[in-house]
Chains A and B, each alone.
Chain A
Amino acid sequence: MKTLSLLLGAASAASLASAAFAEEITIATVNNNDMIIMQGLTDEFTKAHPDITVNWVTLEENVLRERVTTDIATQGGQYDVMTIGTLEVPIWASQGWLEPLEFDESYDVDDLMPAIRGALSVDGTLYAAPFYGESAMTMYRTDLLEAAGFEMPESPTWEFIGEAARAMTDRDADINGICLRGKAGWGENMAFITALANSYGARWFDENWQPQFDSPEWKAALQFYIDLMKDAGPAGASSNGFNENLTLFQQGKCGMWMDATVAAGFVSDANNSTVADKVGFALFPDAGTGNHGNWLWVWSLAIPASSDAKDPAKTFVQWATSKEYAALVGEKEGWALAPPGTRTSLYDNPDYKAVAAFAEPTLAAINAADTSNPSVQPVPYTGGQFVSIPEFQNIGTQVGQLFAAVVAGQSTVDDALAQAQSVVTREMTRAGYIK
């Protein structure tokens, strides 16, 4: 009896001790498909790490950005892992708000794609681990392009895209030669227009942070975009963002669409896309400059310095961004749904290549992106489809509204560029960049 009591006592003490050491982490994320899969696989993580409890906070992208920014700026410590992008990582890391990440050898940090690793590092130190990455590419309807008498080159020019889009347009059949973002916002129309401008040789600022909207390159890029949207774009394009264009493309109403590489999986999914078997992929176009827009975005997992559960948070980040995690998704959900654009090994994986026809073009697009030199002209900033400075969300959205007004027919290219020059000069002077 005494032995039994002792055993029971020891068992209770052990369970109390494990409860005392059980740690809880709160993860803030967005509701994108790859993140939903990650949430669904939480049990696999807790099975391997029973001492860690995981709480999820899933929010709409803009709300998430507001929440995590407020939290990290006030050192609130509400979250132990944050899902953030390539815009935030260098800025927040420089402020000392993010925990530097060092993983053990099994993580194989050298397997991360160089462009992706570079975008998430400051002075060679990794501050966020990439969960999935994307660049931009050309998605097109093979049947419509063939019917119009064109053949898509691997690396198209804007001139070719313009001609093909106009030829593919059939207003009576509700087919628009091209669908491009028009909805105002730094992460909406300005992501596309900035990449387009990069490919035209334009830049946001010169080496002295003087805005460059009065340059001939910006005029050429914006005029091309507006003319093309008028001739071959869908009606009401000034309200179209990623999701709206995705709907149009999936319903067979777009001949071509230049947007994030993550869309390739959606348009190729026969469950949701009516044109899944008629989609081709090519590089994001250039204007003869050799610059393909330099679009690069990575949804990554970072640990705020204010977290009081850094060790379990790091364990989770290592698990969710590892090669083993990609294999787990491949096994449980199918290889086509493995998080793309972060690890070179995924693109050597025959299982993945067999089911993801967009694997090679995605890899080529990511490898073509150079965020340290977004324009062919010298610039004082890094970025691709955005400028990596804290003020960009504000100025990007203001300029986006001016350009969306041109798409809606409420303004002209010259007026919008002149106003953009004036607005950005004012904001950059206020922020102290221009003395």
Chain B
Amino acid sequence: MNTIPARLARAAQISASPEQARQRVFQLYRDWYRAAPEIISLYALPVSVPFFRHAIRRKFEENRYVTDQRVIDVLLLKGRQEYQETMNQWKMYDHVMGILLESRKGRPRSFLEKFYEGRDEDAVLPAATGV
């Protein structure tokens, strides 16, 4: 597949006002939303279009309450980069399935599992639980 490197590339932009940042976020969300069927066929993902859109929505909802405009601009830039890399098929199957569609929350642990691990708080979890 022939890709043009500059396709979908966007220069970093500083929003003039919170309202403009909001509009840019909406535009980015719309682009992701509309690209869902294309991405699924591009990478041959075994997920449905509503699930993909739900995962995208979850990613946006994670940063819903960010108010710092500079941070919003950085997030927008990162989102645009992700979008470009995804649409140009610069990612691989596992990048999309494991990172983009992955849910942050792990499986809920039962009382006994927490007891065996010796920890009950969910806030701080080590990368592994050892033996």
Are A and B genuine complex partners?
A: no
